[in-house]
Amino acid sequence: MECTSSASVLEYLRYFNTKMELNRIPVSGGLELTKRCNLRCAHCYLGSERTGSAAARPEMGTEKVLALMDEIRDAGCLSLLITGGEPLLRPDFGKVYERAKKNGMLITIFTNGTLVNEEILDLFSDLPPQSVEISLYGATAGTYEAVTGVLGSYASCIRGIEGLLDRGIETGLKTVLMSLNLHEFFEIENIAKQYGAKFRFDSDIFPRFDGDRMPLALRIPTEDAVAFDMSDPERIKSWRKFLNSHGEFRLSDRIYCCGAGVTNFHIDASGFLMPCLMISEGCFDLSSSGFDEGWNSMTNLNEKKTDPSNRCVGCEKIALCGYCPAFFLLENGDENRASEYLCSSGTARYNDIMKKELLAKEA
């Protein structure tokens, strides 16, 4: 029997995605188990919510979360991100994870890694997640803890990473590049390489959800961010491939061009269903309702139109900037007003790729 060709696989995936969009099937989602966190990261978008002191609504109980795991399965969810805050702070994490896993979903966990213990390692060994992603904010305790604000957290994070890797759990490392850890970028990247772990980074920092703009002071210059991005041949290759496949895309009359509220969803710790983590508009309280009712009642972002003033419409660099109207709203109070930081990043990335393409042709 012949193997399925990559072309036919891609064709099937396009067909599958189109069908999901047309039928508005929630195939992918995120579950925020808690807003609480044991770290106090300088750039965190949750701000005071992570301590629990500013939480106006209680967290969902175990039975409600377990019921939702069944409901989203029945609605068509195939891929689920379990996140926080720090999800491992929930004493019922194991019950929730096991239910989601046994419901057949592909599970990704976002954690800071500091609370990974033998019980968690045994759970993941018995029921392996698709991936565990851990944020590594520094290559030394001094830098890492300058970001997290908690003494001893670096050693706990490294212990968690090594515990997962020793058990053969698929583990990825990532970092948010900011002024506090910029000087250790290559060392952080090298730690990932030494562990044989996948690595990614992001320099896009935005205001907190409560309106606090302090994290913006931690942004690094876009030229530095792009220089780091283009320092690795594999990342350059990845960006070129992405540009080749998405470079023809142009924003037209629909301001939202992602799957938020169409094939993707987010449920926060209090049981509010949202199009995505960043968008609270049109959210639905699931505390006394089922997922299907919430999904069918939620605002369809595909229906929102761009404003004539939106300069992103028709831009040839939109595939490289991280375009997100929800980010624009958070930073500028307007979904149609682009983030200058993202725009500058996209331009720098585009110019760098085009320059390398030209040099390659001339060689």
The amino acid present at 275, given as its one-letter code, is P
Q: With a threshold of 0.85, does the pTM exceed it? A: yes
What confidence tens digit (pLDDT) does each residue in 228-240 have?
988 888 888 888 8
| pLDDT value at residue 319 | 86
**Residue burial 243-258, b: 16+ Cβ < 10 Å; e: rest:** beeebeeebeeebbbb
**Section 13-42 average pLDDT:** 88
| pLDDT value at residue 160 | 98
CA-only gyration radius of the chain, Å: 21
Which of 42-56, 168-182, 196-210, 282-296 is least confident? 42-56
Q: Which residues, including other chains, have CB under 8 Å from residue 139's CB and lie 6 or more apart?
A: 184, 187, 188, 190, 191
Ordered domains of the chain (ranges, CATH):
22-220+258-304 (3.20.20.70), 233-255+305-363 (no CATH)
What confidence tens digit (pLDDT) does each residue in 82-99 have?
999 999 999 999 999 999
Q: Do residues 176 and 203 make contact, with C-beta atoms less than 8 angstroms apart?
A: yes
